A and B are shown apart, each in its own frame.
Chain A
Amino acid sequence: MVYCHPSREAFNAAVLDAALEGLHEGGHEVRVTDLYASGFDPVFSATDHANHLADDVDRADIAGHIEDLRWCESLVLVYPTWWAGQPAMLKGWIDRVWVNGVAWTLPPGRRRVRPLLRSIRRITVVTTHGSSKLINALEGEGGKRMVTRSMRMLCACTCRTHWIAMYTVDTSTELQRAQFLLRVRMRLAA
């Protein structure tokens, strides 16, 4: 479970709790990464860039993230959709953690990457859209293709993706939000 939101008071925190409840009810073993709380640096650095295609790179700074990715069979991303996609913090996690030797490898002489996250059989996204962010509403399922195509290609061949989204959160009623939380819990317990 990778959670991305700067505020602990936001609706996304309740979404996280509902997702965790569901996963526990389903008997799943869960590891949670809270990107903001853990002080993750989303900025792909000059060093990251220099090491982009290199082998035997020291990845001590993201070792915990790598270990979790290799351990997991089901990846759950919880985040608000901003500007039709993942917030910068989460995009940065993908930029910096889904790297050569972790998510993919490029064998010498080959032009296509080989997937390395073969144990991941399921990717679930739980995301919210706020109505005041007009762009997101008009763009529809933001960031979806990146998950269902680019990321899924590096997982198990039979990896399935699940998309659980709520729209117009900013003008939603308490009942609507409660219904969404229940839906999240039930989907993740399955």
Chain B
Amino acid sequence: MRATVVVVHPSPASFTHSCAAAAVRGLQRAGHQVTTLDLYAMGFQPAMSAAEHHAYHGEEPVVDPLVAESVAAVRQAEMLVFVYPTWWSGLPAMLKGWLEKTMVPGVAFVFDGRGKVRPGLQSVRQIVGISSYGSSRTFVAAVNDNGRRTLMRALRLNTGWRTKRLWLPMYSIDSSSVERRSAFVSSVEKAMVAL
């Protein structure tokens, strides 16, 4: 499958990047073709501008070249993998903005002949979310995992209800041991091989 991996973290030496590298290795070992979008490295600007907001409902909603690159990567994808740290029970602003600017009319959803909204990313058969959390599993369950909800439910409305989902969480990251972190990274690679 053609997999697009979206990595979101300001530090290249981060746990997030280790997980992303493991995911890419696993996918390649399984024979998938991987495209990586490292949003911070690309210099992606997450805040939707006035021009983009104005263009949203128009003929050409994509104004920013980095968004165009993202749209191309997403359109050809059969698998979407998101690797990011959960901040404030949700997506980092960078990833939130990427969704807002990339998943626009004509890309994420299309209007059919009768003016009804249909999923625009029907070639995506699998969505994977890999996230680290400062909080514990019980705390996250109590407060709600908004990032997971957005990627596993909201985004899936754009890909179609048949899309398979996989969530790989690493809780209590701040108090984790080196062993637990590297065990998780290995499990990410194994999970990608097994997909």
Contact = CB atoms under 8 A, between A and B. Distances in A.
21 contacts: A6-B48, A6-B50, A6-B52, A10-B53, A43-B10, A44-B10, A44-B93, A50-B11, A82-B48, A85-B91, A85-B96, A87-B47, A88-B93, A89-B97, A92-B97, A94-B88, A95-B88, A111-B175, A134-B117, A143-B146, A145-B143
Given A42-B46, A46-B11, A139-B153, 12 more contacts: A7-B50, A7-B53, A43-B40, A85-B90, A89-B46, A89-B47, A89-B97, A92-B93, A134-B157, A143-B90, A149-B143, A150-B88
Contacts of B142: 149
Interface string B134-150: 00000000111010011
Contacts of B174: 53
Contacts, number: 123
Interface of B: 9-11, 14, 40, 46-50, 52-54, 57, 87-94, 96-97, 99-100, 103, 105, 109, 117, 142-144, 146, 149-150, 153-155, 157-158, 174-175
Nearest to B43: A43
A86 B93 CA distance: 9
Interface of A: 6-8, 10, 36, 42-46, 48-50, 53, 82-89, 91-92, 94-95, 98, 111, 132, 134-135, 138-139, 143, 145-146, 149-151
